[in-house]
Copies of this chain bind each other. A is one copy, B any other.
Amino acid sequence: MPHLPEHLLTGYRNFMSGRYPAESGRYRDLAREGQAPETMIVACCDSRSAPEAIFDAGPGELFVLRNVGNLVPPYAPDGEFHSTSAALEFAVQSLKVKNIVVMGHGRCGGIRAALDANSAPLSPGDFIGKWMSLIAPAAETVSSSTFMTATERQTALERISIRYSIANLRTFPCVSILEGKGRLSLHGAWFDISTGELWVMNKDTGDFERLEMA
């Protein structure tokens, strides 16, 4: 008997009877020829913001890094284990993606934790606390903006963190060089779970603008 949660077994059977037969040739080609995605997405682990769903993406289309809060730490070639930097290096240097999109989303639990820095750690290791401290200076400033509502502070920090991650992307030499040559472009996006709206970052101003569906 296979040990998998029942909902995954059911889901996989749906996949094999539905989507897979329709895309089996594509999977087979991708297996033989390797992946060649044009775009890397840095997204959050949140169960409500799957990039493949939001961008209706098929196999081979998106190289997806997901961590809590869709954060990219700054470049730090210190010999430590950096899962985010490793994924970035692989996408840019090996797969030669043309786009990197940092996609945040509303009601992000990681951002909420960053805004509530005085709460007790989730466990003695306090890994979330440490991880979200990457945006601690911004989180502290936003937390003290008491004229904003809790929701406004949350949305503000979600967007700040996207700009922060994009700025950190540019601390990686390979990213900044390729961006300078016009061979790589960086994007920001924010997904509103409640309405399905996608807000896209204006590259000039850093503002987020709702995508018109025309």
Binding site for B on A (CB under 8 A): 2-5, 7-16, 18-20, 24, 27-28, 30-32, 34-35, 37-40, 45-48, 50, 52-68, 71, 73, 75, 77, 79-91, 93-95, 98-99, 101, 106-107, 109-110, 113, 122-128, 130-134, 137-138, 141-142, 144-152, 156, 159-160, 163-164, 172-174, 185, 187, 189, 192-196, 198, 200-203, 205-207, 209, 211, 213
Q: Which residue of chain B has the shortest Cβ distance to A194 in the bound complex?
A: B31
A-B contact list, 27 entries, CB within 8 Å: A2-B211, A5-B99, A12-B54, A12-B55, A15-B196, A19-B56, A27-B194, A31-B192, A47-B63, A47-B64, A52-B52, A67-B86, A77-B126, A79-B130, A81-B82, A82-B130, A86-B130, A89-B128, A90-B113, A93-B122, A94-B109, A123-B172, A124-B173, A137-B147, A141-B144, A141-B145, A145-B156
Counting chain B CB atoms within 10 Å of each CB, the highest count among A89, A93, A147 belongs to A147
Q: What's the least CB distance linking A104 to chain B, in Å?
A: 14
Q: Could you say which residues of chain B place their CB within 8 Å of the CB of A141?
A: 144-147
Are A193 and B30 closer than 8 Å at their CB atoms? yes
- The listed residue (B13, B27, B113, B196) touching A27 by CB distance below 8 A is B196
9 A-B pairs closest in CB distance:
A31-B194, A86-B131, A11-B55, A77-B125, A2-B200, A93-B122, A14-B56, A11-B56, A85-B127
In the bound complex, what is the Cα–Cα distance between A3 and B192 (angstroms)? 18
Q: Closest CB-CB distance, A56 to chain B, in whole Å?
A: 4
Contact between chains at B47 and A68 (CB < 8 Å): no
Q: Which of A7, A50, A71, A86 has the most CB of B within 10 A?
A: A86
How far, in whole Å, are A55 and B13 apart by their CA atoms in the complex? 8
- Measured CA separation A73–B67 after assembly (Å): 14
Complex Cα spacing A30 to B141, Å: 29
A39 to B12, CA, bound (A): 14
**In the complex the two chains form, is A7's CB within 8 Å of B39's CB?**
yes
